[in-house]
Amino acid sequence: MNMMAPTAEVEGELRELSYAEAIREALDIALGEDERVILMGEDIGVYGGAFQVTGDLVHKYGEERVIDTPISELGGAGVSVGAAMCGLKPIFEFQFSDFAALAMEQIVNQAAKVRFMLGGAVSVPLVMRFPAGSGTGAAAQHSQSLEAWLGHVPGLKVVQPSTPADAKGLLLAALDDPDPVMIFEHKLLYKMKGEVPAGRYTTPIGVAAVRREGTDLTIVATSIMVHKALAAAEELAKDGIDVEVVDLRTVRPMDRDTVLASVRKTGRLLCVYEGVKTLGVGAEVSAMVAESDAFDYLDAPIVRLGGAECPIPYNPELEKAAVPQVPDILRAARQLVKAEV
């Protein structure tokens, strides 16, 4: 059963919006309802953002609330951390998630640790948005999936919306959170359309979604890989293989209960994620299952299907080969269902 409809409990009318439009709607709602909310980032003003997500919000709210920052990710991130500590609610956009490498000092050593180091006296209600992933021909320095980097850091929450409805709901939930939330938005999803409820609603952070129910195999996927997993599941159904697809949605904190319940039901686990396989999100999911009673329900070894151990190539065919595709998922799933411990 396909379960790609919005999972949040909302009453708003459903409209079809793109992933980018859903994010823009969330930003508009946030700016309109709370004067403390500001947007910051390179080219997010008149230009509308590198991926046209912020659009014309600068004309509606002005340059004091939709702020074009200089080409200095470290400086922009530092200002947003300081603004959050002083009572504002900044939403900082990186043009590409790769540029987080330039701002890691502020993200990891400041935003993630200030509340702890000051005994809870100060929080950092900061949201950072990261256009991530491959598929646009942007080569090795503009195509990475770095969510596992930030998911390793206590004090940060890390989410990966896979649908327009969750892109809006998770962003609004992030704004309600007193701690820094990192949102990784896959660039290839920006034009994808789906049903999105009108008005304000939130999608809970730390709760996975079962996008398709099944009995033979659990695929735990993130971001765009959820859609590839669903496509593979439909193909596998023709072979009589019933796949359950779990959309992790949140890398940190991870939804242990949903994942373990699914593995207990199916007895097999395939982790699919775009980031490099080694030390990636799938490694944490695998360890979580291995350290639980769900391990006793496994009928075959856990399989991880992650990105290749190389930088993302510029060549389009090599770029596709560097990250999991539907045929890769099909092959791994068929081998896994045939395997036994």
| Catalytic residue list | 73, 142
CA angle at 231 for the pair 201 and 141, rounded to the nearest 5°: 75
CA 125 to chain centre: 18
Question: How many Å is the Cα radius of gyration of the chain?
Answer: 20
- What are the DSSP calls for 69-121, one per residue? PPS-HHHHHHHHHHHHHTT-EEEEE-SSGGGGGGGHIIIIIIITTHHHHTTTS
Q: 3-state class of 272 per DSSP?
A: strand
Give the CA distances from residue 112 to residues 47, 153, 179, in Å, rounded to whole numbers and listed in that order.
Answer: 31, 7, 8
DSSP H or E run through 185: strand 181-186
> Would you tell me how many other CB atoms lie within 10 Å of the CB of residue 16?
10
Conformational region of residue 276, where left means phi above 0, alpha means psi within -120 to 50, and beta covers everything else? beta
